[in-house]
Amino acid sequence: MNKIKIIIRREYLTRVRKKSFLVMTILGPLLITSLWLVPFFLAQTSDSQSRIIVVDETGNKEPKTEPLFKNKLKSNEEAKIEYMEDIAKAQALLREGSCEAVLEIVSANDMPPIKSFWFFGDSEPSLSAQHDVENQLTALFKDHYLKYNCGVTEEDIAFINNPKVNFYSKNILTGKDSYKEIKTGLGAIAGFLIYFFIFIFGSQIIRSVSEEKMSRIVEVLVSSIKPVQLLLGKLIGVALVGLTQFMLWIVLTFAVIMGIQSAAPDLFSAPQKENITLNEQVISVDKVQQIDAAPTSQIIQGLFSINYGLIIVMFLFYFIAGYFLYASLYGAVGSLIDIDTDGQQFTLPITIPMILAIVCLPMVMNNPSGPVAFWLSIIPFTSPIIMMVRIPFGVPIWEVCLSMGLMLLAIWGSIWLAAKIYRTAILLYGKKITYKEIWKWLKYRN
């Protein structure tokens, strides 16, 4: 036991003292913050706005009337709407590239009695810009039809267009609000963190084990300490490095955000706007007025409604358990690597379940208690990521216990397996290793 401590200390100290650790510790929060700032800055710049020329010919039919859409289509972040009379001139502008698209609207004798043609040149406006114009056209036409053909008053039209019936969801057992979006976000962040942690530090384990093997120091080491102790010491040491790094990241990220906030408070208005749209789905109809007064209080309420104690405990469990499950196998892979053989063929089967978990993530977020979510959160190889997504929504206690129990069993199994492979493979050089060969090792007593 004492010797494992010596191994852990070396693994920890050599990594923490490396320059790359320092660099990653500083770059991490900057990267995280910039990931969050970049969309904001991109939204700020108006370079991406497409110039769209609308030629409204709906009034051209005899007898001439006022065109239906003239000056009614609105510009937005992506589309700058202009109006012209002459389609030939507009198309000429499009040909020479001074606008991105020309929309020609004509009346027809069909249903609907409006047809529009969308011309574009070398740089087609974005799909969302097209959709936006399309939606505006439809809405305007609908309003027009209601007003003039059905005799609906403008007030009624406004009322028909306005209401969106929202859910105000409440757990009937606990009386708590649902706050699905916040929970989804929280779960997804936790799941992704675990994924990154396993991925980054798992590959460190591979490299570290194979370096020890290739530098041949491993033979000296295993004459002083049992291979399984060496492997465990390494796994624990690297885990501590990872935890240290994450702690530093959290602290530093907060520091950076605080710094930016105090330096440029304006930057924070944008995400708040988004919060309001998020809120619209959370709020109940009877709280509409409240929302206008205090848009952020809902977020805060939502955040307060979550059982953080449980989430933190679960996060730590799956964070550490997931790491040990995968890292021990990565350790075994590392021991298979020789100067002329890389571990690629052995890494793949280990990585697949993790990728499966990430691929299924949206499905689970959509239906956190469905069969996919259930099974993936029970199976140990995907449970660290998937269970974390489910936890904020509340998971029956027996499912959590089953998942954790299976996880512990799987860790025991994977460390057993890894130790068997590791102790044979680290002293094996210049031999092509196949799965068949590995299968034989598992049966060796010592």
Partner 1 sequence: MDILTVNNVTKAYSNHKALDNVSLKVNEGEIFGLLGPNGAGKTTLIRMINQITAPDSGEILLYDHKIKASDITLIGYLPEERGLYKKMKVGEQAIYLAELKGLKPSVAQKKLKAWFEKFDISSWWDKKVEELSKGMQQKVQFITTVLHEPKLLIFDEPFSGFDPINTNLLKEEIIQLQANGATIIFSTHNMESVEEICDSIVLINKAEKILEGQVKDIKQRFKHNEYEVVTPADDYSMESLLPSGCQLIRSEINSELRTSILTIEKGRNAELLSRILTITDIISYRELLPSMNDIFIKTVKNYE
Binding site for partner 1 (CB under 8 A): 3, 6-7, 10, 14, 212, 215-227, 427, 437, 440, 445-446
Cβ proximity to partner 1: between 149 and 446 the closer is: 446
CB of 427 within 8 A of CB of 233?
Answer: no
> Least distance in Å: CB of 241 to partner 1?
15
Pick from 81, 80, 82, 78: nearest CA to 42: 78
> Least distance in Å: CB of 200 to partner 1?
20
Cβ proximity to partner 1: between 15 and 390 the closer is: 15
> Least distance in Å: CB of 128 to partner 1?
51
CB of 51 within 8 A of CB of 98?
Answer: yes
Cβ proximity to partner 1: between 331 and 380 the closer is: 331
CB of 94 within 8 A of CB of 81?
Answer: no
DSSP for 264-301, please give it: -GGGGHHHHHHHHHHHHHHS-GGGHHHHHH-HHHHHHH
Amino acid identity for residue 382 in this structure: T
Cβ proximity to partner 1: between 230 and 357 the closer is: 230
> Least distance in Å: CB of 101 to partner 1?
59
Cβ proximity to partner 1: between 19 and 64 the closer is: 19
> Least distance in Å: CB of 217 to partner 1?
4
> Least distance in Å: CB of 23 to partner 1?
16
DSSP for 124-154, please give it: PPPHHHHHHHHHHHHHHHHHHHHHHTS---H
Cβ proximity to partner 1: between 224 and 261 the closer is: 224
Cβ proximity to partner 1: between 19 and 164 the closer is: 19
> Least distance in Å: CB of 25 to partner 1?
19
Three-state SS at 324: helix
Amino acid identity for residue 265 in this structure: P
> Least distance in Å: CB of 440 to partner 1?
5
Cβ proximity to partner 1: between 314 and 336 the closer is: 336
Could you give the residue ranges of the DSSP H alpha helices within 152-179? Answer: 154-161
Long-range residue pairs from 3-8, CB within 8 A, at least 24 positions apart, any chain: 3/224, 3/225, 3/229, 3/233, 4/225, 4/229, 4/232, 4/233, 4/236, 5/233, 6/233, 7/225, 7/229, 7/230, 7/232, 7/233, 7/234, 7/237, 8/233, 8/236, 8/237, 8/240
> Least distance in Å: CB of 345 to partner 1?
20
Cβ proximity to partner 1: between 32 and 428 the closer is: 428
Q: Which residues pair with 117 in a beta bridge?
A: 104
Neighbouring C-beta atoms of residue 347, cutoff 10 Å:
19
